[in-house]
């Protein structure tokens, strides 16, 4: 199997650094997160079990994908992998990218790490990749996710009514967007 080179921190922020997701992360916490119903309750990935092999295949596919940047979120203090963040797919013609995030470590929920990671990746997307616009979406019942994106500067641009089936009923999808000059400064 491909044992892709590991690199050091890709992006740094106040409490975190972002680096490539590694095959070795599967044996760490990533496999556990992806099979924890509480962690994945608002993710489309919750509809199937995830084996270590399927997660390794996903990582390898993201590493080869020129339209996606797939990064681990790591606490600077203690070098602890707490989640993942993805920028992609990126539409290079229109300079638009979509952000998705997972904080897998439950004791790290509500501490501002998602906001910090989104901010760092958004700055990179605008300043280095020269993207014009970022998008994101979440289940309407995942109010914390929508608030986090909004705290970075994203605006709710639309709602897809009854778009997802979740917890025995239909829930709306919240569509968010951010232009370069709307990014809120902060961590």
Q: What are the pLDDT digits (tens) for 97-134?
A: 999 999 999 999 999 999 999 999 999 999 999 999 99
pLDDT at residue 187 is higher than 90: no
Q: What is the pTM of this model?
A: 0.92
pLDDT at residue 6 is higher than 60: no
Strands 96-103 and 133-139: parallel
Segment 41-88, tens digit of pLDDT: 888 787 778 889 999 999 999 999 999 999 999 999 999 999 999 999
134, 122 contact by CB (below 8 A): yes
Strands 11-12 and 80-91: unpaired
98, 63 contact by CB (below 8 A): no
What is Dmax (Cα atoms) for the chain?
44
Which domains are delineated in the chain?
11-182 (3.40.630.30)
């Amino acid at each position: 199997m491909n044992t892709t080179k590991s690199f050091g921190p890709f992006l740094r922020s106040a409490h975190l650094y972002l680096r490539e997701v590694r095959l070795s992360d599967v044996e760490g916490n990533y496999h556990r997160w992806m099979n924890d119903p509480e962690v994945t309750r608002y993710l489309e990935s919750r509809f199937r079990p995830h084996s270590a092999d399927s997660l390794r295949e996903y990582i390898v596919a993201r590493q080869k994908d020129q339209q996606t940047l797939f990064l681990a979120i790591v606490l600077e203090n203690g070098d602890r992998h707490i989640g993942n963040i993805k920028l992609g797919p990126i539409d290079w013609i229109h300079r638009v990218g979509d952000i998705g995030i997972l904080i897998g470590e439950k004791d790290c929920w509500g501490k501002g790490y998602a906001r910090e990671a989104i901010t760092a990746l958004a700055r990179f997307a605008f300043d280095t990749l020269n993207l014009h616009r970022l998008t994101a979406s979440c289940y309407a019942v995942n109010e914390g996710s929508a608030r986090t994106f909004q705290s970075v500067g994203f605006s709710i641009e639309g709602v897809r009514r009854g778009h997802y089936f979740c917890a025995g009923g239909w829930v709306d999808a919240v569509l968010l967007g951010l232009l370069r000059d709307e990014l809120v400064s902060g961590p």
